[in-house]
């Protein structure tokens, strides 16, 4: 969840972890609780990652990159689509015939988003920010992930201010629910 380093290193490490989780899901031959546990794990990571990016990365893109508003808007829209898929997966039985299709859509959407960030957004941010600014953003991202919700809330506001105000409380409720149910402990 928190890896250290600047914002780009932190988020790229998250990307590799999610890719590993997707690999484990793709390697599974059956559904059941094992698949549910893997879907929960990837959901927790993606939600935390998205909330942190929306709170700190995209505002930095808007501030530091010329023409950063459309880049940030596109990435936030990508998050919205992913969060809706995660919400559908959360409600779906693992033996549902649509599960495989939804998981593939999730993997495709996340892969496209990761490619955009790593090939376009991160190089632009690296050129626009000082190493100190990138390190500071990394610290903020790690803190935000620690406080973020662990479940998809697609109707929650995605503005940085609203997210910073609401996410810690929603995150606390989500983590309490996770503790009670054992979700995310696999």
Task: Provide the number of structural domains found in the chain.
Answer: 1
Q: What is the rounded CA–CA span in Å between residue 3 and residue 71? A: 25
pLDDT digits (tens, 9 = 90+) for 31-88: 788 999 999 999 999 999 999 999 999 999 999 999 999 999 999 999 999 999 999 9
Tally Cβ neighbours within 10 Å of residue 117: 22
> Is the residue at 137 inside a domain?
yes
> Is the residue at 1 inside a domain?
no
* Confidence at residue 33, expressed as pLDDT on a 0 to 100 scale: 87
> Is the residue at 133 inside a domain?
yes
- What are the angstrom distances between the C-alpha of 143 and each of 49, 65, 115, 168, 183? 11, 23, 24, 10, 21
> Is the residue at 138 inside a domain?
yes
Q: What is the rounded CA–CA span in Å between residue 137 and residue 166? A: 20
Q: What is the rounded CA–CA span in Å between residue 3 and residue 121? A: 20
* Confidence at residue 30, expressed as pLDDT on a 0 to 100 scale: 74
* Confidence at residue 127, expressed as pLDDT on a 0 to 100 scale: 96
Residue 159, token pair as written in the block? 């503005």
Residue 146 pLDDT grade (very low, low, confident, very high; cuts 50, 70, 90): confident
> Is the residue at 2 inside a domain?
no
The CATH number given to whatever domain includes residue 117 is 1.20.120
Coil, strand or helix: which one is 149?
coil
Domain span holding position 19: 7-181
- What are the angstrom distances between the C-alpha of 78 and each of 5, 46, 81, 177? 25, 12, 5, 27
> Is the residue at 81 inside a domain?
yes
pLDDT score of 27 more than 80? yes
* Confidence at residue 62, expressed as pLDDT on a 0 to 100 scale: 96
pTM of the model: 0.84
């Amino acid at each position: 969840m928190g890896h250290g380093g600047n914002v780009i290193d932190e988020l790229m490490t998250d990307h590799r972890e999610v890719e590993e989780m997707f690999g484990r899901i793709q390697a599974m031959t059956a559904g059941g609780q094992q698949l549910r546990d893997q879907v929960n794990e990837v959901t927790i990571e993606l939600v935390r990652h998205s909330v942190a990016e929306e709170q700190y990365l995209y505002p930095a893109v808007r501030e530091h990159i010329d023409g950063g508003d459309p880049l940030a808007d596109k990435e936030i829209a990508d998050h919205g689509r992913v969060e809706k898929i995660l919400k559908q997966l959360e409600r779906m039985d693992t033996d549902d015939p649509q599960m495989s299709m939804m998981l593939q859509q999730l993997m495709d959407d996340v892969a496209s988003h990761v490619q955009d960030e790593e090939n376009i957004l991160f190089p632009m941010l690296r050129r626009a920010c000082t190493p100190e600014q990138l390190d500071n953003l990394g610290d903020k991202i790690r803190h935000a992930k620690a406080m973020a919700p662990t479940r998809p809330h697609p109707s929650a506001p995605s503005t940085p201010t609203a997210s910073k105000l609401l996410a810690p409380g929603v995150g606390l409720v989500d983590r309490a629910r996770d503790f009670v149910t054992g979700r995310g402990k696999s």
